[in-house]
Amino acid sequence: MVIEEKLFPRKLSLQQLEQCLWDAACSMRGPVDAPKFKDYILPLLFFKRLSNVFEDEINELKADLGDEEAVRNLINNDRNLIRFYLPDGCTWNDMRKITRNLGEELTRVLRLIAKENPGLQGVIDVVNFNATISGERIIDDGRESSLIVKIRRCGRLVLKDVEPDILARAYEYLLGLCSVYP
C-alpha cells in the first residue's frame, strides 16, 4: 500500500517543523508516554538529517569525480571528506524500504552509524526501537513505519534548507509536549 505524502517545501519553517513533530508525536500516543516521545522522534529526525546531508555530500563529490563508485571508495578511505559516514544500506531511504522487523533494523542501523561516527555515540543510538515490556513490543512496526512517514513529511533536512539549530528547536518543542500530554 502506497501512502500519499504531502512534503513540506524547501526552507522548512519553524511552524512546519512543529507540525511534523506534532504529527509524529500523535502517531506514538498510546504505547509511549509523552515524556518519552523525544526519545524516539529525535534520533529519527537526526538520522534523517544525517542521511540527507550525506546524500548531498556524495552528490557534490560525484559531480567532481563523475562516478559514484569512485566516490564511495574515496570516502571509505578518507572519511574526512564528509561530515558523517553512513555505511552502505544505512540511509533514510534504505529504512523507508524495510517492511519487516523495522524496529530491529532501525536499532541496528542507528547503532552501526554511531559506531562508525564516535561523536554520535549516545546521541542517535539511545533507544531500542525493538524494546519490549512484559514480552510485548513497546512500539510495533506499524507505528514505527507511521513515525517514519511523519518525519519524512518534513522534507529534506539539508544544511541549506533548515535552520542550523533545527534539532535544538525540535528538542524544545518535544519537551513542551509533555505539558500538552500529561
The domain ranges of the chain are 14-55+86-180
* Rounded average pLDDT over 140-168: 87
Q: Is the pLDDT of residue 181 over 70?
A: no
pLDDT at 5: 44
pTM above 0.85, yes or no: yes
Q: Give 123-141 pLDDT, tens digit per residue.
A: 999 999 999 888 888 888 9
Q: Is the pLDDT of residue 180 over 90?
A: no
pLDDT at 4: 38
* Rounded average pLDDT over 150-163: 86
Is 161 within 8 Å of 56 (Cβ atoms)? no
